[in-house]
Amino acid sequence: QVQLVESGGGLVQAGGSLRLSCAASGRTFSSDAMGWFRQAPGKEREFVAAANWNGSSTRYVDSVKGRFTISRDNAKNTVYLQMNSLKPEDTAVYYCAAAKFSGLVTTTTRYDYWGQGTQVTVSS
């Protein structure tokens, strides 16, 4: 059974940092694109960051550029999202996803596997 399990969410003050992790199991994801998305209450799920199969190429939504960093450790089948200088508008449930494609993927419909999400709350 393929699973993606996120961890590392929580409550943090504005300006603080969190590091999200996404551990994959059930298949090898080392040749897959990986991504992070988020969904705030009443809003659609939005793209946050993506990495290609080996992490050599990354892409971010403009609102997090310079603050968030996506990385991956294929030996551990894990992808990370380092979030710095957090803002209240970053509050959302964060999801990791995997796509059976080696390049960069930024659209939800192209991802094949999803985690259950982890809550990130940033207080002002």
Query: How do the pLDDT tens digits run along the chain, 124 residues long?
Result: 889 999 999 999 999 999 999 999 998 899 999 999 999 999 999 999 999 999 999 999 999 999 999 999 999 999 999 999 999 999 999 999 999 998 999 999 999 999 999 999 999 9
CA angle 23, 25, 28 (to 5 degrees): 105
| Residue 25: predicted pLDDT | 92
Q: What is the distance, to the nearest Å, from the Cα of residue 23 to the centroid of all Cα atoms in its chain? A: 11
CA angle 38, 99, 78 (to 5 degrees): 70
Backbone angles phi, psi at 57, to 5 degrees: -125, 135
Residue in this structure with the two tokens 């504005």, named with its chain if needed: 14
| Residue 27: predicted pLDDT | 85
Q: Tell me the one-letter amino acid at 51.
A: A
